[in-house]
Chain A
Amino acid sequence: MDQLDKRIINYLQQGFPICVSPYRQVAETLGIEQAELLTRLEKLLADGVLSRFGPIFHAEQMGGALTLAAIKVPEQRFDEVTDIVNAFPEVAHNYARNHALNMWFVLATEHREQVASVIANIEQQTGLRVYNMPKISEYYVGLQLEA
């Protein structure tokens, strides 16, 4: 990854135009050719630096829900429980963390009322309690990471 890749990533984390030739517009702002931008984006996606290039939905506005949940997983069952939890399409991401509550995942459901049933299903399939920690207030979200 060189300086230009970093500029592309930092710029595109701020947003992307919705117009007939969006990449041309971005390329012009960055002072490069459109073809160069397309080639580099393909490579950054292929290399796994970028995971996706598109919309971030507002789950609640869509009628859905997001929540953070955690489980205390016995170490010897960790891999097995990971497979069970990750098999749910509603699990958007899942992190192992250094705590007794060692598995932390985000659920994104299409409808608000599905959160409870997904949690119940996970509890049933794992035999473990799921701690549900939905947000009460959002004070700040700024996920841009400087490349």
Chain B
Amino acid sequence: MIDDLDYQLLAAVQQGLPIVARPYLQIAEQLGLDEQQVIDRLVRLKNQALIKRWCVVVKHRPLGYRANAMIVIAVPMALIDSIAAKIIQHSFVNLCYQRPQQGERWPYNLYCMIHGKDRDTVLQQWAELQQACELSQYRSEILFSRRCFKQRGAIYQPKP
């Protein structure tokens, strides 16, 4: 279980950790805690998997990842897990999810993301994926992003 202090702590760290020698001390001072309490709580929250990962969040475009493709495929439900298992063998696939179909005009149930340096490379990777996973027989579409308006993590408010 997590308590109000945990929520306050998560709210304090969510915008980013201070870039100073003792970042957890700085957060502790903001909250009126001591440094070790902050560390213990954050370690516990990580062990409880409330914090999935603790790391830097990169922006895609400055790193040269200009092609961001969402690939959607309509596969038979009976095969979806085995097809996904093949797809995720490919290291250029960054995400793979099953999502609900939305009727005949949007029959897709398998979603993959490829973040690539340029569009040609991503198209080539998609062709490779289609061949390796025998996807050509299914309806699919590749949606490249044209613009990214907002990219940030989820924001949580501390509990009142």
Contact = CB atoms under 8 A, between A and B. Distances in A.
Nearest to B147: A96
A54 B94 CA distance: 20
Tell me the dominant secondary structure on chain B's binding face.
Answer: mixed
A138 B149 contact: no
Interface string B33-58: 00100010011001011111111111
A22 B155 CA distance: 24
Interface residues of B, number: 71
Given A20-B22, A99-B141, A51 B57 contact: yes
B88 interface: yes
A52 interface: yes
Given A95-B148, A97-B143, A55 B94 contact: no
A45 to B, nearest CB: 7
Given A57-B156, A66-B154, A48 B19 contact: no
Interface residues of A, number: 67
A39 B147 CA distance: 31
Interface of B: 10, 13-17, 19-25, 35, 39, 42-43, 46, 48-60, 62-63, 65, 68, 70, 80-81, 84-85, 87-88, 93-100, 102, 106, 109, 111, 115, 141, 143-157
